[in-house]
Amino acid sequence: MDPGLIQLDQGSGGRAMHELIDTLFVSAFNNPLLAERNDSAVIEIRGERLAMTTDSYVVDPIFFPGGNIGSLAVHGTVNDLSMLGAKPLYITSGFILEEGLACGDLEKVVMSMAQAAREAGVLVVAGDTKVVPRGKADKLFINTSGIGILPPGIDISGRNARPGDQVLINGTIGDHGMAVLCKREGLAFENEIQSDAASLNGLIALMLDAFAGIHVLRDPTRGGVATTLNEIAEHSGVGIRLFEEALPVRGDVLGACELLGLDPLYVANEGKVLAIVPAQGADAVFSAMKSHPLGRAACRIGEVVSNDPGRVFLRTRIGGHRLVDMLRGEQLPRIC
């Protein structure tokens, strides 16, 4: 049953989106840089390696606990560059505004973008503004592109995971998705769940200083930790085993997930990095993470194995095993 119409789940970050990207975009724009399918492309100009990325933001609501669409756009783009080990430098920003958007809201969004850029040490160097009639967009969409410089000797890619590597994460999972969802649906808990949205370039620089041989860095945004690890397992041709009792989830996020029937493994993060590190460098990277404010709650959550290539398994709390699939269907549309 295919009506030939775009469905919401094709933008979910999960299986349907990957199929769309593979069958349409990657084949149409056919080139080896795109085919790498990392968060950023690595381009070489006169011996200098640059990382380049782009991202669009359609989060609803545009203001949520812990951030807004503007700060999120900067964090997201900075993070996509950082996930290759690049030092983010310049960002461009395109705004699509709906007629009737409150000027004060736009100002707030832009001010927090400016602050996020200052804090991350990047410059917003070009932009574009369009206004569409009321109802033709929803308040405000932002597209950002970013460019960064890649230090020599760094080779980080989703293809590099190897059996024996450890899987680390810098803190609790599912915070961003649940913060946005609870705000959107008007769900109130004892404390408001805060998004984890943050620029991770500082943390990642520290991790690379500790051990430059990190194999993979990925930010588990849409589709969550489960989907991101499945991508890595597929691209690297390895299996990944997670330990359920090691997965860090905040109590309020877990409670909200239980209530709504969601699995935190599939809920979006905007200030988290999954690091896949050879065993000999894992302790150094882990200590570096712990020493940074954005890595205080870092955990070792799993390991890379040679069996079951392309698949992710979870060793459950009670000692069983189960498959952890990529996100299928739309879990939460418009979360970023």
Partner 1 sequence: MKYLEEYRDPLLARSLIERLRRKAPDRQVRLMEICGTHTVAIFRSGMRQLLPPQIKLISGPGCPVCVTASEDIDRAIWLAQQPGVIVTTFGDLVRVPGSSSSLHFERSKGADVRIVYATLDALQIARDNPERQVVFIGIGFETTAPTIAAAILEASRLGVNNFSVFSAHKLLPPAMRALLEAHEVNLDGFLCPGHVSTVIGAGAYQEVVDNYKVPCVVTGFEPLDILQGISLLIDQIESGRAEVENQYRRAVTREGNSAARKLIEEIFEPADSTWRGIGTIAKSGLAFRSEWKGFDAAQRFLMPEITVKEHPGCRCGEVLRGVMTPPECGLFRKVCSPQDPKGPCMVSAEGTCGAYYRYSE
Residues in contact with partner 1 by CB under 8 A are 1, 3, 5-9, 15-16, 185, 245, 251, 254-255, 258, 260-261, 314-323, 325, 328-329
CB of 284 to partner 1, least distance (A): 30
CB of 69 to partner 1, least distance (A): 23
Distance CA 313, CA 316 (A): 9
Beta strands 48-57 and 63-64 are: unpaired
Nearer to partner 1 among residue 72 and residue 262 (C-beta): 262
Q: How many CB atoms lie within 10 A of CB 240?
A: 28
Nearer to partner 1 among residue 93 and residue 331 (C-beta): 331
96: β partners:
130, 141
Query: Tokens in use for 150?
Result: 């890649």
Distance CA 214, CA 276 (A): 6
Nearer to partner 1 among residue 52 and residue 260 (C-beta): 260
Check: CB of residue 314 under 8 Å from CB of residue 244. Answer: yes
CB of 248 to partner 1, least distance (A): 12
Distance CA 300, CA 269 (A): 17
CB of 72 to partner 1, least distance (A): 24
Nearer to partner 1 among residue 149 and residue 260 (C-beta): 260
CB of 15 to partner 1, least distance (A): 6
Query: Tokens in use for 262?
Result: 């969601």
Least Cα distance to 214 among 308, 269, 284, 262 occurs for 284
Nearer to partner 1 among residue 239 and residue 271 (C-beta): 239
Query: Tokens in use for 173?
Result: 């999972």
Nearer to partner 1 among residue 12 and residue 201 (C-beta): 12
Please give the single-letter amino acid code of residue 287: S
Distance CA 39, CA 269 (A): 15
* Residue 266 zone, left/alpha/beta (φ > 0; ψ -120 to 50; rest): alpha
Least Cα distance to 175 among 286, 67, 323, 312 occurs for 67
**What length does the chain have?**
336
Nearer to partner 1 among residue 14 and residue 281 (C-beta): 14
Least Cα distance to 148 among 38, 246, 42, 7 occurs for 42
Q: How many CB atoms lie within 10 A of CB 171?
A: 21
CB of 128 to partner 1, least distance (A): 29
Nearer to partner 1 among residue 70 and residue 264 (C-beta): 264
CB of 12 to partner 1, least distance (A): 11
CB of 261 to partner 1, least distance (A): 6
